[in-house]
Structure 1
Amino acid sequence: MQKAVCSLATLLATLCATAAHATSWELKPGGDNRLEFTATFEQTPITGVFKDFRVRFEFDPQKPDSNRLNVRIRISSADMANPDINQAIAGKDWFDFVRYPEAVFDAREILDAPGAAGYLARGTLLLKGLRQPLVLPFSWKPEERRMEGEFVTHRSIFNIGTGEWKSSNAVGDAVTVRFRVQLRELP
C-alpha cells in the first residue's frame, strides 16, 4: 500500500511539474526580425517598419490556458524611408510619439487556427492611448524558432491620421501589419 501511495505521489508530482511549464521565448537579438506596416497613399502602397520592438511568447500546446504573447513596440522607431513622412508621423495627427511612446499587444488566449496550420492569438492592442480587441493569426515553427503573421487593422479606430488626414480619400484607412521574428528559448 505504501509503495502504491509513493508511486502515485511521484506520478502526480511529475504530471504537475510538466503541466505547469509553458516554454518561454523572447526576441533573439540580431535575429531575422521584421515588423512592418503598409498603408496606401492615393491608392499606392507605402511601407514602413518599426525598428525597435520586443516579443515575449509563452507556449504549451497541451495547456492553452498558460499561453501568452506580449509585443511591445517603441513607436518612435517607425521608419518610412522618407524624412518628410517620418517627421509627419511623429506629430499629433499621426502617432504622437511624445504622448504615446509605446504600443502593446497582449494576448492571453492562443488557440489552434480552424482549418489552417497555425494559431490565433486573441488579445488587445493598445495604440495611441486606445485599446482595441485584436485576433492575430500566426504560424509558429519551433524547430526554426520562427513566428510569422499578418493582419489588417484600421488606423481610424486608433485615431491615427486625424485633422486634415481623417478622411480615407488620400490615405487609406486599412493598414496591413506583417511580422517575422526569430525567438530564443529562455532558461
Structure 2
Amino acid sequence: MSRSSTLKRLALTIGLVTVAATPTAATTWSVDQGASSVTFVAQQNGSPLKGTFQDWSAEITLDPNALDEAEINATVRPGSAKTGKPQVDQTLPGAAWFATSSHPEATFTSSEIVSTGEISYEARGTLTIKGKSEPFVLPFTLTVDGDTARAKASVSLARLIFGVGTDVSPPTVADPVTVDLEITATR
C-alpha cells in the first residue's frame, strides 16, 4: 500500500472518529399552542376549581441524548388565568393574588435537566412568581415520535410561598395548587 493511500485512509478514519465523537446538538422545539395547555386545579371550599392560563410561551431546547445542552425557559402571564367564574377571574389579577399590574409574568428557567427513567425527566431551575424566586423541580415525561414531542407534567405548587392568595386561608382555598402541563412541540 502506498504512503499516499495510507495517509488518505488515516485522514478518513480520523474524520469519522471526530464526527462520531462530536456531541449531539440539542434540538430546538416549536411549541404547538393549539395542542398544548397549562391548567391548574385549586380546592375551593373542598370542591375543585379548575382553570387555564391562556397566555404563555416556552422556549425548549432538548435532546434526550444531549441533556447537558438542554434548556427550558417558560413564561406564563397570570392575568390570562380563566376559571369560567367571573368573580374569581376578576380577583386573580389583584394584589393579593397574582398582582399582575406589577408582576405581569411568572417564569421558569431551567439550570439542568436530568433523566429519571426511560421517559421521565426533571427540569431543575428557578420559578419566579410575583417577583419571588425559588428553586423548583419540574418532573415530566417526554415522548418523541419522529418530529413531534409530547411532554406532560403535574406538580403541586405551594402558592403561599410566592404570596399568591394571601387574603384567604388554606381552608378556603387549599395550598398547594396543582398545575398540569401538556405540551406538544415539533422540530
Coarse TM-score class (shorter-chain normalised): 0.7 to 0.9
Aligned with residue 63 of structure 1, among 57, 66, 71: 66
Coordinate RMSD, CA, aligned: 1.8
Match of 1:45 in 2: 48
State TM-score, norm by structure 1: 0.88
Runs of at least 5 residues in structure 1 that lack an aligned partner in the other structure:
none
Say if 1:124 and 1:133, in contact at 8 Å, map to a contact too.
Answer: yes
Q: Separation in 1 of the partners of 2:175 and 2:123?
A: 23
What residue is the counterpart of 1:135 in the other structure? 137
Structure 1 equivalent of residue 122 of structure 2: 120
Unaligned 5+ segments in structure 2 are: 1-5
Instruction: State the AA in 1 paired with 2:182.
Output: R
**Cα deviations across residues 51-78 of structure 1 (Å, max 9, x unaligned)?**
1111222122222211112211122111
Contact persistence 2:77–2:104 (CA under 8 A): yes
For the 8 Å contact 2:156–2:178, the answer to whether it is kept is: yes
Structure 2 matches for 1:33-182, cutoff 5 A?
33-114=36-117, 117-143=119-145, 144-162=148-166, 164-165=167-168, 167-182=169-184
Change (3 A) 1:21 1:117: closer
Partners of 1:174 and 1:130 in 2: CA distance: 16
Mean Cα deviation higher: 134-143 or 2-11? 2-11
Q: Could you list the runs of 4 or more consecutive aligned residues of structure 1 that deviate by over 4 angstroms after TM superposition?
A: none
> Percent identity among equivalent residues?
31
Q: Distance in 2 between matches of 1:168 and 1:33?
A: 30
Shift in Å, 1:9: 4.0
Post-superposition offset of 1:44: 1.2
Question: By how many angstroms is 1:29 displaced?
Answer: 3.9
Aligned residues: 180
The 8 Å contact of residues 149 and 180 in structure 1, kept in 2 or not, is answered as: yes
The structure with the largest alpha-carbon Rg is: 2
